[in-house]
Amino acid sequence: MATERTLSIIKPDATRRNLTGKVNSKFEAAGLRIVAQKRLRLTRAQAEAFYEVHRSRPFFDSLCTFMTSGPVVVQVLEGDNAVAKNREVMGATDPAKAAPGTVRKELAESIEANSVHGSDSLDNAAKEIAFFFAETEIVR
Ligand code: AMP
C-alpha cells in the first residue's frame, strides 16, 4: 500500500466543543499519523479561497461564515492510503448518512457543521497541504 498524505481540518463546531483530542484519537486509532498540526482562525479570504470550487453552490456563503466563526485545527495526516482512510474515519458529509463509529456520526452537528474536512483525492491533498503548510513544517 502507498504511503500518502492528506489535509484534515477540525472545524469550528468541534473546536468550540473541545473535541480536538477526541477527533485526533480516532485518526491515530485508524493508523493515521499527525505529521503537522496548527490551530488558527481562518480569514474570510482564506475560507473563500479554500472552498473556491464550491463558490457557485447555494451553501457557499454560509459555509465560509461557519468556517470563520471560530478556530480550526489544520493537520497533515500520513499513512497507508491516507486519503481514503481519512474519508472512512470521517464518514459521509451528512452526519445523518454517516456510518456508525465515524467522526461525523458521533460528533457532527449538521451537514454544514460536520466537524471535519478531508481531502477528496491525492491531487487535491497536495494542493490543500500546500495551502496551509510549508514542507519544513511537516515532520514525520
Ligand atoms: P467538501 O469539499 O466535500 O468538504 O464540502 C464542503 C463542505 O461544505 C462540507 O464538508 C460541508 O461542511 C459543507 N456542505 C456540503 N454540502 C452541504 C449542504 N448541502 N448544505 C450545507 N453545507 C454543505
**Helix (H) or strand (E) segment spanning residue 76:** strand 72-80
Q: What is the mean pLDDT of residues 90-108?
A: 98
Written as nine digits, the cell of 131 is 495551502
Per-residue pLDDT tens over the stretch 109-137? 999 999 999 999 999 999 999 999 999 99
Residues 6+ apart with CB under 8 A from 10: 19, 20, 23, 24, 72, 73, 75, 115, 116
Any ligand 1 atom below 6 A from CB of 85: no
Q: What is the DSSP letter of 99?
A: P
Residue 74 in contact with residue 5, Cβ under 8 Å?
Answer: no
11 CA: nearest ligand 1 atom: 12
Instruction: Please check the confidence at residue 18 and state whether its pLDDT lies above 80.
Output: yes
Nearest CA to ligand 1 atom 11: 112
In angstroms, what is the span from residue 60 Cα to ligand 1's centroid?
A: 8
Instruction: Please check the confidence at residue 14 and state whether its pLDDT lies above 90.
Output: yes
Per-residue pLDDT tens over the stretch 24-60? 999 999 999 999 999 999 999 999 999 999 999 999 9
pLDDT reported for residue 1: 77
pTM of the model: 0.97
Of the residues 26, 87, 104, 117, only one is catalytic, namely 117
User: Rounded to whole angstroms, how far apart are CA atoms 97 and 80?
Assistant: 25
State yes or no: is 117 an active-site residue. Answer: yes
pLDDT reported for residue 84: 98
